[in-house]
Amino acid sequence: MARMTSFAGELEVKFLRAHRVGEQLVIEAALGVWDSQIYFQPQDMIHMLRLMLNPSALSYFLLLPFACCKRWLLRR
């Protein structure tokens, strides 16, 4: 489960579903005790992709399969 921190405190975020409505991507999530829907316009998704095109985020995504394998092996 993801965790969101802010000045208001920490909340657990559980992503439940992603689907398309017209030109929008809708993410349904449980944010603390509230159910929510996050609507992304195409320009929002392009902005998010640009934010992720940096060495730190790219290295995270490239190393993610190895981290998952390591966790899986350590649980056995």
pLDDT digits (tens, 9 = 90+) for 28-52: 999 888 899 999 999 999 999 999 9
Helix H or strand E segment including 2: strand 2-6
Q: Is the pLDDT of residue 14 over 90?
A: yes
Q: Is 90 exceeded by the pLDDT of residue 23? A: yes
Task: Please tell me the predicted confidence (pLDDT) of residue 45.
Answer: 95
Residues 19, 39: contact at Cβ < 8 Å? Answer: no
Q: What is the pTM of this model?
A: 0.74
Please state, in angstroms and rounded to a whole number, the distance separating the CA atoms of residues 6 and 13.
13
What residues does 19 pair with on adjacent strands?
26
CA 67 to chain CA centroid, Å, is 17
DSSP H helical segments within 26-54, as ranges?
42-52
Domain extents in the chain = 2-75
**pLDDT score at 63:** 96
